[in-house]
Amino acid sequence: MGKVIWITGAGSGIGKALALAYNENGNTIILSGRKKEQLEEVAALLSNSYVLPMDVADELAIAKAVSKVETKFDKVDILINNAGVSQRALVTETSNEVGRKLMEVNFFGSVHLTKAVLPLIQKGSTGNIVGMSSIVGKFGFPLRSYYAASKHALHGFYEALGLELKDTNINTTVVCPGRIKTDISKNALKGDGAAHAQIDPGQQNGVDVNVCARKIKRGIARNKSEIYVGGGEILFIYIKRYFPALFRFIAKRINPN
């Protein structure tokens, strides 16, 4: 029997690739994002989907969307909180307004949707809740101060939630992508809120997004608490953990783009 899988940020990038990866076995994919046209283009590639435009930074929109899903499907098996926005600006250049937007989308949007959907997941015997972090959710990095902070916060929230759900068959997973070939750097916010409007060289040469999606899907199926996907940059997670002084030495000298 197919599962009901809700993916935010599903119009492009990792979200779109995940929708395609889960397009099997009678699954129904709920596609959410701010751009309806993009979602409809993805839906046209799927066997069974439901387009549900939504801005995760809008709590009222979340409530309305969850109500629609409950009426139509009554449950959700997998929630993938993929919606997010990155940053390319120094701390001193980033306005407080932009900082708040990054936190609202990346952290509060994920948290508020998770809390609203949790009762629908609890209707089933098993379920998965996924938060999309980043390797900079494991360490700080230049030009990504608020972005890194928002991703760090996700780890604390989902670890706590996972422990609270320890006596159930609902599992939480935090995904930490490294450099994946998507438009995330192109859509990243500069300090004044304008789009970065260019793809970083590291992003351009990153892991294929469909390969990334398959690895994430496999990790979710295994109920992994954290999933790391990327190239050599994933080593920084372990260097920071075991050799923090070496990490700082390297990070001060690396190109942040």
pLDDT in tens, 162-182: 999 999 999 999 999 999 999
Would you state the pLDDT for residue 173?
Answer: 98
Going by C-alpha positions, the residue among 149, 77, 148, 158 that lies closest to residue 111 is 158
The Cα 249–Cα 211 span in angstroms is 31
Coil, helix or strand at residue 102: helix
Determine which one of 22, 50, 146, 147 is catalytic: 147
More confident residue, 255 or 15: 15
Would you say the C-alpha torsion 212, 198, 140, 128 has a positive or negative sign?
A: negative
- Tokens found for residue 87: 């940053």
Would you state the pLDDT for residue 257?
Answer: 74
Q: What is the pLDDT of residues 216-245, one digit of tens each?
A: 999 999 999 999 999 999 999 999 999 999
- Tokens found for residue 250: 């390297």
Range 154-164 average pLDDT: 98
Q: Does an H or E element contain 16, and which?
A: helix 13-21
Would you state the pLDDT for residue 1?
Answer: 77
Q: What is the pLDDT of residues 134-149, one digit of tens each?
A: 999 999 999 999 999 9
Q: What is the pLDDT of residues 81-93, one digit of tens each?
A: 999 999 999 999 9
Any catalytic annotation for residue 158? no
Q: What is the pLDDT of residues 102-112, one digit of tens each?
A: 999 999 999 99
What is residue 12's DSSP assignment?
A: S
The Cα 173–Cα 155 span in angstroms is 9
pLDDT higher than threshold 90 for residue 50: yes
Rg over alpha carbons for the chain, rounded to the nearest Å, is 18
Q: Let me know: does 13 contact 209? Beta carbons within 8 Å.
A: yes
More confident residue, 124 or 217: 217
Going along the chain from its start, the domains and CATH numbers come out as 4-251 (3.40.50.720)
